[in-house]
A = this chain, B = another copy of it.
Amino acid sequence: MTEPLAEHANILFDIFVMLAAAKLFDELCQRLKQPTVVGGIFAGFLIGPSVLGWVAPSAGSSMLAEIGVVILMFSVGLETKLSTILSVGRTALAVAVLGVVVPFAAGWWLLRFIGESQAEALFVGTAMVATSVGITAHVLAEMGVLATRSARIILGAAVIDDVLGLLLLAAVSSAAEGPLDWAAVGSTAAAAIAFVIVIAALGPWVVARTMPFVQRQRAAGWVFSSSLVLCFALAAAADHAGVASIVGAFLAGMALAEFTSGDPALHRQMHTVGELLVPFFLVTIGMQLKLDVFAQPETLWLAGVLTLLAIAGKLVGCGVAALHYGWREAVRVGVGMVPRGEVGIIVAQIGLAAGIVSQSLFGAVLVMVIVTTVIAPPALKPLFRNVAH
């Protein structure tokens, strides 16, 4: 019965601790009427290097986190039909564009205001931009409000936002290396936009034509397995096309949504897989929260102002774009777009490596990413209570 893989002993222990902590804090959140997301992130903070030090971020844990968020966004896609996104397409586009422009301008202005260089201001502006929709999607799915208009606007805007953030990153990175290479930025743009449009348009059509064939096969579990295959295929392809893997996973789910809406078995199976894998995504976010950044008062001030601007930027930018649906809906959309993801950290890291962004500014960006991620879920929950349309 022996298959000892000594080098993996740690990951088994890590999985045990991460799952146990996530479940305990999930229970706590249920009792305090808070979303599960908060519990998962707090569990990660507690078991991570900052507090107990039981588990540290590793290649293994970040791989499980990546698979977890891919599964999460695929499940959200499964409950999202393309037609319902297109019905709010114009608003989603406006939300995405203003949600990029306003935070970028705010970040750029702050850095110029405190006397930093043009290059540093451009990098920080870019780090303020990209929405991390995984957190919001988890809260909305948990509350069963993915079909509301606000949720559809958020999901549509997040896909567009991702493409815009990517272009900004390409432009700023190439600017950091020398004069701006418009051809490279243009080809990045073309690949990303083409990927999203082609997959969104052709996906449901291809699925509708291949699924009857899949269902005729003899081995058990073909629908489940081929759904997972599509999910990981498009996640990998999205990454290859320069878009985030979770955009590919979301589009894969959306391609299947039309076909599988009458198939409760697939939804139940994805729910089970998500219960195992999504906690790794949440816990890993919490593990990255380090306390030592709070030791320097200067960094703390900068982090505080940056975080306030990051929140206000999305609230105002996205909110204004959705204001024609009334101010309640504007606030819902604005808050849903607040969480920033790893792309902010990655942008800051590129700037740090290029010697443009300082260590203390990098710490401030880290704080901004974590705080925007942590505060959105408790704010979202009351906003989406009793929402019918």
A binding-site residues for B, Cβ under 8 Å: 1-6, 8-9, 11-13, 15-16, 19-20, 23, 26-27, 29-31, 36, 59-60, 62-63, 66-67, 69-70, 73, 130-134, 158-159, 161-162, 165-166, 217-219, 221-222, 224-226, 228-229, 232-233, 235-236, 239-240, 243-247, 250, 268-269, 272-273, 275-276, 341-343, 346
Contacts of A217 in B (CB 8 A): 27
Given contacts A246-B3, A273-B272, contact A240 B9 (CB under 8 A): yes
Beta-carbon nearest neighbor of A231 in chain B = B16
The answer to whether A165 and B246 have CB atoms under 8 Å apart is no
Beta-carbon nearest neighbor of A22 in chain B = B225
Given contacts A23-B222, A27-B219, contact A232 B16 (CB under 8 A): yes
Q: Which of B15, B131, B221, B272 contacts A224 (CB 8 A)?
A: B272
Beta-carbon nearest neighbor of A73 in chain B = B1
CB A10 to nearest CB in B, in angstroms, measures 8
The answer to whether A225 and B23 have CB atoms under 8 Å apart is yes
Contacts of A165 in B (CB 8 A): 2
The answer to whether A131 and B2 have CB atoms under 8 Å apart is yes
Beta-carbon nearest neighbor of A275 in chain B = B221
The answer to whether A3 and B342 have CB atoms under 8 Å apart is yes
Contacts of A59 in B (CB 8 A): 59-60
Given contacts A13-B236, A236-B9, contact A275 B225 (CB under 8 A): yes
